[in-house]
Amino acid sequence: MYWNRGARHAFAAAIIVFSAWAVAQEGRGDVVYVPTPQIVVDEMLRMAKIGAKDFLIDLGSGDGRIVITAAKKYGAQGFGVDLDTVLLRQARDGANKEGVAERAQFVEQNLFETDLSKATVISSYLLPEMNLKLRPRILALKPGTRVVAHDYHMGDWYPDEQKDIVVPEKKVGTPGVSYIYLWVVPSRVAGKWQGQISASAKDVPVELAFDQLFQILEGSVRVGTQSIALRGRVTNGDQIEFSTPAKAGPGNERYEFRGKIAGDAIDGTVRIGEGPNARQGTFTARLTARGEMRRASDEVATR
Ligand SMILES: C[S@@+](CC[C@H](N)C(=O)[O-])C[C@H]1O[C@@H](n2cnc3c(N)ncnc32)[C@H](O)[C@@H]1O
């Protein structure tokens, strides 16, 4: 699922084609107007699992098709922003025609100045450097906020889900193919945690240290006197899973943790050992020292 070298080259080429083709098109601001094919819009909204309770913000909304589809097909609410007044008028006309003008609104505004705080879903079809510029603000949103983007990535924040769709009529980017990326804003767990494992008659103290790069976790688990490296991830914003390697060393057992993050607390289950002798238990941990989320290469705009 992660960004591979081949995809990076394809994307670098895609940016050039996107830019060159689009010079003659409408649109204003930092990227020209190229509409997302409707089949791709439908898949983006499906991947974002959009529903009637969601509030969608489309950054650079063009003719409004993403917000209008979300309102019409899924009953979602939201708005799009754009700087092109002709496209904004087209989008408002489209929302009126589809009978969703109350739920799908369009605002003349620079997307870099847009207040994103109401969003539960953000959509974009912007260039990678624009996505990267938006990234710190997106990461500061409520954990669980979904971001769905057409064709362009977000640097080393690898997508939680990725889908390639064949779109024969597509002439821009990589002709004939659309790439869709979905990210979920992760809870911040970087730092040190203390708690206990309840898997036998007596609770055992546990210490966790998480080094976090977006949704990816590395670090260590200390159970009693044993300290073992861990690897894991934050999923769906507030779910966490991490485990120690199969062969953790003499006397060490394999631990597999799954839990839910709620602010400074994590509660969940743990599986200890392997095979028929594995034991099930529960664990709970509290944050004792918050760490910073690691940023590997914020400065890398394109690959
Ligand atoms: C590639 S189009 C995508 C349109 C639409 N989201 C879609 O997927 O069909 C990008 C849009 O962003 C708008 N845009 C570019 N820079 C912008 C900015 N700084 N603020 C707001 N809109 C901007 C352009 O006018 C254009 O309509």
Q: With a 6 A CB cut-off, is 90 part of the ligand 1 pocket?
A: no
Q: What is the pLDDT of residue 181?
A: 98
Distance 33 CA to ligand 1 centre (A): 6
Tens digits of residue pLDDT in 76-118: 999 999 999 999 999 999 999 999 999 999 999 999 999 999 9
Angle between helices 85-97 and 65-74 (to 10 degrees): 20
111 close to ligand 1 (CB < 6 Angstrom) = yes
**pLDDT at position 23:** 39
The closest of 81, 39, 45, 42 to 64, measured between CA atoms, is 81
Partners of 79 in beta bridges: 57, 105
| Ranges of residues in the chain whose predicted pLDDT is under 70 | 1-27, 247-251, 295-303
Domains and CATH numbers, the chain: 5-184 (3.40.50.150), 191-290 (2.40.128.120)
Residue 289 CB-density burial (10 A; 0-12 exposed, 13-18 middle, 19+ buried): exposed
Q: Among 249, 248, 260, 267, which residue's Cα sits nearest to residue 196?
A: 267
Q: In the prediction, which pLDDT does 274 show?
A: 86
Instruction: State which of 108, 109, 111 you would mutate to test the pocket of ligand 1, scoring each by most atoms of that ligand within 8 A of its C-beta.
Output: 111
Residues forming beta bridges with residue 43, ordered by sequence position: none
How much is the pLDDT for 225? 83
Give me the pLDDT at residue 18, please.
Answer: 53
User: Is residue 29 in contact with ligand 1, taking CB distance under 6 Å?
Assistant: yes
Give CA–CA dist 92/242, Å, rounded.
46
How far apart are the C-alpha atoms of 193 and 240, rounded to whole Å? 14
Other C-beta atoms within 10 Å of 229: how many? 13
For 68, other C-beta atoms within 10 Å of its C-beta total: 27
Give the contacts of 103 (CB within 8 A, at least 6 positions apart): 71, 75, 76, 77, 78
The whole-number pLDDT of residue 148 equals: 98
Give CA 138 to chain center in angstroms: 9
Q: For residue 58, how far is its CA from the centre of ligand 1 (angstroms)? A: 9
pLDDT of 243 = 96
Other C-beta atoms lying within 10 Å of the C-beta of residue 263: 9
Task: Find out whether the beta carbon of 33 lies less than 6 Å from any atom of ligand 1.
Answer: yes
Instruction: Check residue 248 and give its pLDDT.
Output: 61
d(CA 193, CA 219): 11
User: Is 81 near ligand 1, meaning CB less than 6 Å away?
Assistant: yes
Give residue 26's pLDDT. Answer: 65
Determine whether the shortest distance from the Cβ of 88 to ligand 1 is under 6 A: no
